[in-house]
Chains A and B, each alone.
Chain A
Amino acid sequence: MTAPTDPPAAPKPTRIAPIVTLDAKSFWEAADQEKFIGQKCGDCGKFTFPPRPMCPHCHSLNRQDVELSGKGTVHAWTIPRHPHPFGFRESPIVAVIQLAEGIRFVSNVVGVGYDEIRQDMEVEVCFEPTMNNHKVPVFRPRSK
């Protein structure tokens, strides 16, 4: 039970925490530290998403996690209305982000109204908290 003298707590995050697989573990651990990383092949230098144990271009197992620019554009987007997505007070804008590194990432666009979202609009990464003290990369309109 909470003692009446405790300061009011910040609202608890309701967003579902990522489901972490072994091949994506380093990605989500970096996100917890507010770092947006991507998989780059240690031999041929190509980026790959989603993360996987082997480079599909040269079959190297030498996988490097490098920090990405965090810059991208809104390649596709939608607003889930029904059923209302679990863990969100308001419907989020879900988007496929085309990243500067040439790979794509499903995320949310935050900080824009439903009528302000535009195809190919420029966005940059930021982070939002989830249940169980994790963080996920989301995107906001790019600052000039």
Chain B
Amino acid sequence: MARTFTEAAIAGIGQTEFSKASGRSELQLAAECSLAACQDAGISPHDIDGMITFTIDNSDEVNLARCLGVKDLAYTTRIPGGGAAAAATIYQAMAMVNAGLCNNVLIWRAMNERSQYRFGQNPNQQMMSYQSGNGTGSLLWCVPYGAMTPASWGALQAQRYMHTYGVTNRDLGYISVQQRKYAANNPAAWFYGKPITLEDHQNSKWIQEPWLRMLDCCQESDGGVAILVTSLERARDLKQKPVRILGAAQSIPYNVEVISNYYHDDLTVMPEAQGVAKRLWKQTGLRPSDMQAAMIYDAFTPHVLLQLEAFGFCKRGEAAEWVKAGGMAIDGELPVNTNGGLTGEAYIHGMNSMAEGVRQIRGTSPNQVQRVQNVLISSGMAGAILSKD
């Protein structure tokens, strides 16, 4: 069969509830959200022919395929980098559909990362082994020094930026307050109906003094999210309005790694996000001003600022002021993380914010932005631009 270039689109999204104790296996969460994404699209799970997730997910491809009754899988991959690879799943699904190699690509993420183990705590024996593929090549060098948690690695990565531009912890609070405002209006969010004030933020305990407080950190959550990618042409005949994948990219510049990322030249920038931005703008011919909303990986609040600057929404060092002036609010220049983000909605490693990007294009977000044509998705080392058909 001759292969031709095929446009790709997102046809379905599915998720479980987001909780602190799901009460069932990670595989069951994976199966439930995957089925929900297929039903949302109106395709049979039997017809899935591609499966993509990213590292630090315990649900096995073949076991999940067995649950869904996948008849004949043509492609599987598990992308390195943990959460930084979230948007790289869209990138690879797009590429498989573009190349005509797959018709129904399932992307999934399902974890009991609060009830079964604790992501934010000191590492246990299993985590100390630091399997390759997590994208954090130098973590072992941090552990004897008491940097044992994602927050400690993240604070160390963001500190020079904060120092250089005089960004205080109070400045970060504006991000938390805005995202919790979005979450408070999102029935699926863990913090639905629970907005916070800047004082709440400032009263939350130090996690990394004097840079990160509790309310600067993403949650630990149980839950699953799945996304179904197919061709644009086929998506037009399915249940939902198609969400075009206009462009998608990954970037891992020399000496950059996930979170223990201290070895590249300039620690006041995020070179991986700059690389993603460069590729996305080139691929699509679009500019920052063409985006009506953005979903930006917010494991820790300062990384929202670094990504806003990397993508060119703000000049270097100006993102904190931009946020303070209401830039990421619903009526701001660029609404950001309108689901409440990973701090407000849940921490399904960026997948839940990508699903929110789809809702914004469909017009079904609980915090719907008016007249949306394009939404940027960024997980730091990868990104995508979703668009209206």
**How many Å from the CB of B32 to the closest CB on chain A?**
31
A108 an interface residue at 8 Å Cβ cutoff? Answer: yes
**How many Å from the CB of A34 to the closest CB on chain B?**
15
Please judge, given known A-B contacts A80-B147, A80-B152, whether A106 and B142 are in contact too, CB under 8 Å: yes
B229 an interface residue at 8 Å Cβ cutoff? Answer: no
A83 touches B149 (CB 8 A): yes
B208 touches A85 (CB 8 A): no
Q: Which chain A residues lie closer than 8 Å to B151 at the CB level?
A: 80
Q: Which chain B residues lie closer than 8 Å to A17 at the CB level?
A: 144
Chain A, 28-70, contact with B by CB distance < 8 Å: what is the 0/1 string?
Answer: 0000000000000000000001100000100000000000000
Give Cα distance in the complex from A83 to B217, angstroms.
13
Chain B, 53-80, contact with A by CB distance < 8 Å: what is the 0/1 string?
Answer: 0000000000000000000000000000
A16 touches B144 (CB 8 A): yes
Chain B, 188-223, contact with A by CB distance < 8 Å: what is the 0/1 string?
Answer: 000000000000000001111111001000000000
A88 touches B146 (CB 8 A): yes
A94 an interface residue at 8 Å Cβ cutoff? Answer: yes
What residue of chain A has the Cβ atom nearest to residue B210's Cβ? A79
Please judge, given known A-B contacts A75-B160, A78-B208, A106-B156, whether A85 and B144 are in contact too, CB under 8 Å: no
**How many Å from the CB of A12 to the closest CB on chain B?**
16
What residue of chain A has the Cβ atom nearest to residue B138's Cβ? A50
**How many Å from the CB of A94 to the closest CB on chain B?**
5
B141 touches A106 (CB 8 A): yes
Q: Which chain A residues lie closer than 8 Å to B137 at the CB level?
A: 50
B152 touches A78 (CB 8 A): yes
B326 an interface residue at 8 Å Cβ cutoff? Answer: no
Give Cα distance in the complex from A16 to B148, angstroms.
11
Pick the contact of A108: B120, B122, B141, B146 (CB < 8 A).
Answer: B146
A19 touches B156 (CB 8 A): no
**How many Å from the CB of A75 to the closest CB on chain B?**
6
Chain B, 248-292, contact with A by CB distance < 8 Å: what is the 0/1 string?
Answer: 000000100000101100010000000000000000000000000
Number of interface residues of B (CB under 8 A): 38
Please judge, given known A-B contacts A50-B137, A75-B160, whether A107 and B206 are in contact too, CB under 8 Å: no
Q: Which chain A residues lie closer than 8 Å to B211 at the CB level?
A: 78
A21 an interface residue at 8 Å Cβ cutoff? Answer: yes
Please report which residues of chain A, range 84-110, place their CB below 8 angstroms from some CB of chain B when the two chains form the complex. 85-88, 91-92, 94-96, 103-108
Give Cα distance in the complex from A136 to B210, angstroms.
25
**How many Å from the CB of B204 to the closest CB on chain A?**
10
**How many Å from the CB of B220 to the closest CB on chain A?**
12
A18 an interface residue at 8 Å Cβ cutoff? Answer: yes
Chain A, 1-39, contact with B by CB distance < 8 Å: what is the 0/1 string?
Answer: 000000000000001111101001000000000000000
A85 touches B122 (CB 8 A): yes
Pick the contact of B143: A16, A75, A91, A105 (CB < 8 A).
Answer: A16
A104 touches B121 (CB 8 A): no
Q: Which chain B residues lie closer than 8 Å to A81 at the CB level?
A: 205-209
B159 touches A77 (CB 8 A): yes
What residue of chain A has the Cβ atom nearest to residue B163's Cβ? A119
Give Cα distance in the complex from A103 to B265, angstroms.
10
Please judge, given known A-B contacts A81-B207, A94-B146, whether A86 and B122 are in contact too, CB under 8 Å: yes
**How many Å from the CB of A50 to the closest CB on chain B?**
5
B5 an interface residue at 8 Å Cβ cutoff? Answer: no
**How many Å from the CB of A79 to the closest CB on chain B?**
4
B155 an interface residue at 8 Å Cβ cutoff? Answer: yes
Chain B, 295-333, contact with A by CB distance < 8 Å: what is the 0/1 string?
Answer: 000000000000000000000000000000000000000
**How many Å from the CB of A81 to the closest CB on chain B?**
4
Give Cα distance in the complex from A9 to B262, angstroms.
39
Top 5 closest pairs, chain A to chain B, by CB: A85-B146, A78-B155, A92-B146, A81-B206, A76-B159
Task: Show 10 residue pairs from A and B whose CB-CB distance is below 8 angstroms, ordered by the A residue.
Answer: A16-B143, A18-B144, A19-B140, A50-B263, A85-B148, A94-B147, A95-B156, A108-B146, A136-B144, A138-B145
